[in-house]
Amino acid sequence: MSFFARPHYRSEATQFIDQLKADKPELEQAQRLGRSLLWDKQIDRDFQAQAEAAEVPQRPYVYQTVSDHI
């Protein structure tokens, strides 16, 4: 057993989350559904390649005027 192990200790945050999951068992499924709506997207590789090819290089200092003389 590790010197730093504290198996009897559970933080208040862990206790809160465990209690929340016990009270609302549908919560985890709802979280997964929300993630799928916002994050799990199919990527169109052709469109992504076209968008990257169409990028215009940014000037070193974006607030500088177009004038090139010093």
Position 31 in a domain: yes
Tell me: the pLDDT tens digits for 2-11? 777 777 888 9
SS3 of the chain: helix, strand, coil, percent, to 5: 45, 0, 55
Helix 12-23 and helix 27-38, axial crossing angle in degrees, nearest 10: 100
Helix, coil or strand: residue 60: coil
Q: Which domain holds residue 17?
A: 12-53
pTM, rounded to two decimals: 0.47
Q: What pLDDT score was predicted for residue 58?
A: 80
Do residues 18 and 24 touch, judged by C-beta distance below 8 A? no
Q: Cβ distance 27 to 20 under 8 Å?
A: yes
49-58: pLDDT as tens digits? 999 999 988 8
Domains: count for the chain: 1
What mean pLDDT is predicted for residues 15-23?
96
